[in-house]
Amino acid sequence: MKTKDKIILRMLVFVPICFLVEWLQLHPVIVFIASGLAIIPLAAWIANSTEEIASVVGPSLGGLLNATFGNATEMIISIVALHAGLVDVVKASITGTIVANLLLALGAAITLGGLRFKEQDFQPTVARINASSLNLALVVLLTPTAIDFTSKGLQASTINNFSAVASVLLLLFYILMLLFSMKTHKDIYELRATELDEEEKAGIKSHEHKVALGRQITILLTCTIVLVFVSDVLVASLEKAITTLGFTSLFTGVILIPLFGGAVEYITAATFAVKNKMDLAVAVAMGSSLQIAMFVAPILVLVGQLMGKPMNLDFNPFEVLAIAIAVIITNSISTDGRSNWLEGALLLITYSVLGAAFYFHP
């Protein structure tokens, strides 16, 4: 068993701990931290079991499964928070996840990989497609702010209706992206031979026979159900913890919650980069941001309307600015298909600047 897997396995102890500290009614900050730490191993197990199932059911169904459960953690936390009426926190967590994946995850991956290898390369065609898709997501997020800014006496229902239409269109484009990557142009998404060493190639050939499909489905469903209850504990302690720590809901949603929900992805991206597998590192970081912007956010808008907790795409202008900064800087260094440690440091410093800005933002 790998070191990372051992750590993840040991972290499962935080699952019963989070329920225990809530039952004992300990300090909200303790409950918040315990439930946040409990989310990390559950997210890892969901990701691992999804990958195992995908390797058995084939690339088409597997790709769809990965797309659906790839950000299950963020989706579940957000739906629970939305049900609790914490719409602003949900919006902030969407912003934070996109920004953290583009700046923190990719920045850490490029920096660590760059310290070991002078320069690394990845598929520029895929990077350009991802960059263009992120631009589309940014346009959609900017539009409600522009409508609000250029209109007088605007009714909330107008933005809500626009958000519903825009969400459907984003989901449509996301489906087209899946069709593009898994069917019509899947050859440009396939791993290059240099990405895998001989040992890994041999492992992949025999992997399908080792996967216990029923066991992995059971793990996936069990972890997903447990994650719902852990998320409920996290959200229930959220408001009191925010007040106690003196943080704003904006800082908590943008910075703290994404750190718990995305920790596994950050580690995964960095691990791939250190192994000189930058195609995979970039796919994890940028792909996750695209899933959040084009799948998770639209689903939350539509689910919120069905739940009677309307959420729209009219984000705080500063949140939209943060996403714009992350998208522009990431696109500027990724489209050439090459990276070095200085570019990674640039992303990390940018994330730190935005983090400080959200901390001091009233």
Residue 358's nearest CA partner among 99, 114, 81 is: 99
CA distance 63 to 198: 25
Alpha carbon 119 to its chain's center = 26
Whether 135 contacts 329, CB under 8 Å: no
| pTM score | 0.86
Residue 95's nearest CA partner among 218, 247, 261, 206 is: 261
Question: Residue 339's beta-bridge partner residues?
Answer: 120
**Residue extents of the structural domains in the chain:** 3-360
pLDDT in tens, the chain (362 residues): 566 677 778 888 999 999 999 998 888 889 989 998 898 888 888 877 877 776 676 555 655 566 566 677 888 888 888 888 888 888 999 999 999 999 999 999 999 999 988 888 888 888 888 889 999 999 998 998 888 888 877 777 888 899 999 999 999 999 998 888 878 877 776 654 444 444 455 554 444 446 677 888 888 888 888 988 988 888 888 878 887 877 888 888 888 888 887 887 888 888 888 888 888 888 888 888 888 999 999 999 999 888 888 888 888 889 999 999 999 999 988 888 888 999 999 999 999 999 999 999 87
Whether 97 contacts 74, CB under 8 Å: yes
Answer positive or negative: Cα dihedral of 24, 26, 28, 30: negative
Alpha carbon 153 to its chain's center = 35
Strands (E), 46-175: 120-121
Instruction: Annotate 255-283 with DSSP letters as a single string.
Output: IIHHHHHHHHHHHHHHHHHHTT-HHHHHH
- SS3 of residue 277 by DSSP: coil
Residues 6+ positions from 227 with CB-CB distance below 8 Å: 39, 42, 43, 46, 72, 73, 76
Residue 124's nearest CA partner among 343, 330, 337 is: 337
C-alpha torsion 97→99→103→104, nearest 10: -30
